[in-house]
Chains A and B, each alone.
Chain A
Amino acid sequence: MPEAVSLVLALLVLAGTLAAAVVHSRWPVEALVAAGGAALLVAVGTLSVADARHALGDLGPTVGFLAALLVLAEGCRREGLFDAMGGLMAAGARGSPRRLLALVFAVAATVTAVLSLDATVVLLTPIVFATAARLRTSPRPHVYACSHLANSASLLLPVSNLTNLLAFHASGLSFMRFAGLMALPTAAAVAVEWMVLTRFFAVDLQRPRRARTGDTERPELPRFALAVVALTLAGFGLSSVLGIAPVWVAVAGAAAITAPALARRTTTARTLALAAEPSFLVFVLGLGVIVRAASDHGLADAARALLPSGVALPELLAVAAVSAILANLVNNLPATLILVPVAAPSGAAAVLAVLVGVNIGPNLTYVGSLATLLWRRVLHVEDHEVELGEFVRLGALTVPAGLILATVLLWFSAQGLT
């Protein structure tokens, strides 16, 4: 098959797979399309069986890692960790919307970094919404904070974002080194969010209100869940010292938080299997094979032409910008799969710059990419459309500043890197 035909075919399958994910059906259509598309590319010889197996082998541990993290987060929810955090935020706010926002920042950044952005988006955001409602204050700034921090704070650890997991192996860094290099960039990205959101919502945050009493009862934090999370984190940190792959630490954490619940029969094997999002895992594997086929037949060359090589500051800034743009056009998952292998030869700093771009970039759109956004608007999926002006303005205020600051600090942190 001519090279051009192979590329077109692979790109068509990729587009179809992303479209299936964007359409967002109730059924796991995207998993079927991704798996079918990958199989098709192998069947017609666009990708050899050996290459496909290789791609799956690369992704396997990452997908297992993700499954373990999803089960761990679900375990934390089951143990009441998120409800307890809602109670703590309500009590700590002492009736002040601004203090509540500060607590939401602290909690959302921590949950994102430790339990991944999925946990913030799916598990924490409803709790924050309910907490604002309980305090009888406008939920708007707090919901925006969750939505933005799920992306901005997801730079810190390899486990904070699936994009990081996908790039972690290619970066060649240990868990601690990754965290060390990303600490300042994450702090900068979160600081930018705080500066912008507190100003943007200044009026919502200081509406004159009468001090309220009550609601100050501090809930007990579930110690068991906290201990498991803390030990898992410690295990991640020590993994390179002990010579264990971090994925096993995540598996141990997931097992530790699940075993007692299984024994007590407060959860079932079926529930657990669903918590691991099997259809999504299939989708990621299929997407990885499809992107591999497209990359092998010219997509990687195209990306190489766009992405500057080198790890000096101007190159890193360009890498972050290109990554952010691609993440907004499609979604940060395919963007990561396409860009990381291209950036990897330039070194760890370049890989991390890709992550800065694909993680902070999606804040320009609240649904993850322009494609998703436009499609949803075309279909009028939502009863109540978010005012485009508001979140685009907020994205425009936070994303470029966050990208630049985070990349500069990444460059600074990576100075010692050889």
Chain B
Amino acid sequence: MRALVWIVEDTWEATVAEAAAFLPADAEVTLLHVAPGDVETLAEGSRHGLLGRRRPPPLGPPASLRVISDEAAEALLDEARERFGREAGTERRRGRVEREVVAAAEGMDILVLARDGDHSRLGPHSLGPPARFVVDHAPCRVLLVWADTPPAVETIPPPPEHPPKHPPPN
């Protein structure tokens, strides 16, 4: 079985723990991180508003955002692999996050990811746009985990008193 585990800042610890608990011991696991390239572009793009004032400072320039981002992703994947406690490969990508995840899931048997939405209002928004896109388009099975504790069954609101009217079947 080939498994892809999508590692995201904030929620990665839960994802790794659940993947370790539920993926079979013989699964061939890849931990994936995708850097949002547009955030780096945004941060560097602000410089262009300065017209000519653009060179990085001459002495020991702050590393370019790309370098900082790559190092951070590398460190995160290393820590995630250590926490996973099993053999796993890693993969780094950069771009539109949700699209890159779907592309990376090609040929996999299962994709593990965490909910990235609003946990305080359970409903469609418990999945943020990236996870929603990935769940909709994943070319394989999906294991969707809670980044914190799953909600209790009692949190389901009571059914509406009058069921919504549906048009009569033809």
Binding site for B on A (CB under 8 A): 21-22, 24, 28, 30-31, 70, 74, 77-78, 82, 97, 117-118, 121-123, 125-127, 129-130, 132-134, 136-140, 143-144, 146-147, 150-151, 202-203, 206-210, 267, 270-271, 274-275, 277, 279-280, 283-284, 331-333, 362, 365-369, 372, 376, 382-387, 390-391
Tell me the bound Cα distance from A277 to B49 in angstroms. 15
Contact of B40 among A147, A280, A372, A384 (CB under 8 A): A384
Known: A122-B57, A271-B58, A382-B45. A203 touches B128 (CB 8 A): yes
With both beta carbons as reference points, the residue of chain A lying nearest to B56 in the complex is identified as: A122
Contact A133 B48 (CB under 8 A): no
Interchain nearest-CB distance for A37 vs B (Å):
14
Interchain nearest-CB distance for A269 vs B (Å):
12
| Chain A residues whose C-beta falls within 8 Å of the C-beta of B53 in the assembled complex | 70, 118, 122, 277, 280
Contact A384 B119 (CB under 8 A): no
| Chain B residues whose C-beta falls within 8 Å of the C-beta of A133 in the assembled complex | 9, 68-69, 71-72
Interchain nearest-CB distance for B52 vs A (Å):
4
Contact A366 B52 (CB under 8 A): no
Tell me the bound Cα distance from A366 to B94 in angstroms. 21
Known: A31-B52, A136-B76, A280-B52. A271 touches B118 (CB 8 A): no
Interchain nearest-CB distance for A76 vs B (Å):
10
Give 15 new A-B contacts, CB below 8 A, not counting A133-B68, A366-B42.
A77-B62, A121-B47, A121-B49, A123-B57, A130-B68, A133-B69, A134-B72, A143-B43, A207-B147, A209-B10, A277-B52, A283-B52, A331-B49, A331-B51, A366-B46
| Chain A residues whose C-beta falls within 8 Å of the C-beta of B38 in the assembled complex | 384-387, 390
Known: A129-B65, A137-B9, A147-B46. A368 touches B51 (CB 8 A): yes
Q: For B42, B62, B68, B147, which residue has the most chain A Cβ atoms within 10 angstroms?
A: B42
Contact of A147 among B13, B43, B118 (CB under 8 A): B43
Contact A382 B58 (CB under 8 A): no
Q: Interface on chain A toward B: helix, strand, loop, or mixed SS? A: helix
Sample of 16 A–B contacts (CB below 8 Å): A24-B48, A97-B10, A133-B69, A136-B76, A147-B43, A207-B11, A210-B148, A275-B58, A283-B52, A367-B45, A367-B49, A368-B51, A369-B49, A372-B49, A384-B94, A391-B42
Question: How many chain B residues have a CB neighbour from A under 8 Å?
Answer: 52
Tell me the bound Cα distance from A275 to B12 in angstroms. 41
Contact A77 B43 (CB under 8 A): no
Contact A376 B37 (CB under 8 A): no
Tell me the bound Cα distance from A329 to B53 in angstroms. 19
Contact A30 B51 (CB under 8 A): yes
| Chain A residues whose C-beta falls within 8 Å of the C-beta of B71 in the assembled complex | 133
| Chain A residues whose C-beta falls within 8 Å of the C-beta of B125 in the assembled complex | 203
